[in-house]
Amino acid sequence: MPVLLSLETSTDVCSVAVHDGSRLLAIAEVHMGQAHASKLAPLVKEVMAMANASMKDLNGVAVSAGPGSYTGLRIGTSTAKGLCYALGIPLYSIGTLDIMAGHMSSVVLEEAVLCPMIDARRMEVYCALYDRQGRRLTAVEAKVIDEYSFLDQLKVARVVFGGNGSDKCPQVITHSMAVFQPGVFPSARHLGALASQKLALGESEDLMRFEPFYLKDFKAKLPSNIIAPAVNKPV
């Protein structure tokens, strides 16, 4: 079976896995903010050793396509591309919310609409709706959450919310049909399972042109200790 290395770096979790087809061979994860740059390469080495595999055994590399952390996505994508170029193997990608929906579909056992959410600061989240099998029902969007959010869906179905974006929502989304599933995050475990299906079908990315789906433009913040330049005022 084809061996696939998966790198998930779109949130605070840095996750790496090796799959042989749909079978998980090894996984390692670090739940620590801003750790991707220092932890990703060691995790790759660790999971390859755990899987008793070498880089020449790989048939492809999978990476999360976004949305998510701008820096995290850049680190994951550049690492995945570098490995693909060096080894001459294809690149596969899966949307971050699709990965989370895959996780949720494995733990939500009753019929419901799934809504994975990624924190986008303040009361904004990246989200989309999925059926219980993890099939996407709506487009990915950046949504500001208030007491009216998802009312149309909640009137007709149970909606299960998960992910770090949902942590700030229970005080706002108080409908009786709203359920909040803890412990949902994008993992290389589910990334690899979904990407293995693409590998089997030969649905790889254009290695040169592939870029993550950021959804919103990156805005750099100035350090708080920078002193603003003096302005000459007329006397």
How high is the pLDDT of residue 230? 47
- Residue 32: the pLDDT is 86
pLDDT value, residue 215: 87
Give the pLDDT confidence score for residue 33 in this predicted structure.
Answer: 81
Query: Domain 97-181: what homologous superfamily?
Result: ATPase, nucleotide binding domain (3.30.420.40)
- Whole-model pTM? 0.90
Q: State the fold for domain 3-95+186-201.
A: Nucleotidyltransferase; domain 5 (3.30.420)
Average pLDDT score over residue span 21-30: 96
Least confident of 25-29, 148-152, 160-164, 225-229: 225-229
Q: What is the DSSP string of 144-155?
A: E--TTTTHHHHT
Question: What's the CA gap between 106 and 58, in Å, rounded?
Answer: 27
- 169 φ/ψ angles, rounded to the nearest 5 degrees: -100, -25
Share of the chain above pLDDT 70, in %: 92
CB 168 within 8 A of CB 123: yes
The DSSP bridge partners found for residue 116 are 162
Q: What is the pLDDT of residue 220?
A: 44
Sign of the C-alpha dihedral, residues 26, 32, 36, 42? negative
What is the rounded average pLDDT of the residues 219-234? 46
Read off the pLDDT band of 35 (50, 70, 90).
confident
Cβ-contact 185, 171 below 8 angstroms: no
Kindly calculate the radius of gyration of the chain based on its CA atoms and give it in whole angstroms. 20
Single-letter residue type at 190: H
| % of the chain exceeding 90 in pLDDT | 88
Mean pLDDT of 55-60: 97
Average pLDDT over residues 180-209: 97
Pairing of strands 124-127, 113-119: antiparallel
**In 3-state terms, what secondary structure has residue 57?**
helix
Residue 217 is predicted with a pLDDT of 59
Residue with tokens 């080495």: 45
Query: What pLDDT digit, counting tens, does each position of 117-174 carry?
Result: 999 989 999 999 999 999 999 999 999 999 999 999 999 999 999 999 999 999 999 9
Q: How many CA atoms lie within 13 A of 221 on its CB side?
A: 4
Q: What is the mean pLDDT of residues 64-71?
A: 95
Domain ranges for the chain, please list them.
Answer: 3-95+186-201, 97-181
| Tokens describing residue 102 | 């895959």
| Polymer length of the chain | 235
Q: Give the E-state strand segments of the chain in sequence order.
A: 3-8, 13-20, 23-31, 58-64, 91-94, 113-119, 124-127, 141-144, 159-162, 178-181
Q: For position 235, what pLDDT does the model report?
A: 44
Q: Mean pLDDT for the chain?
A: 92
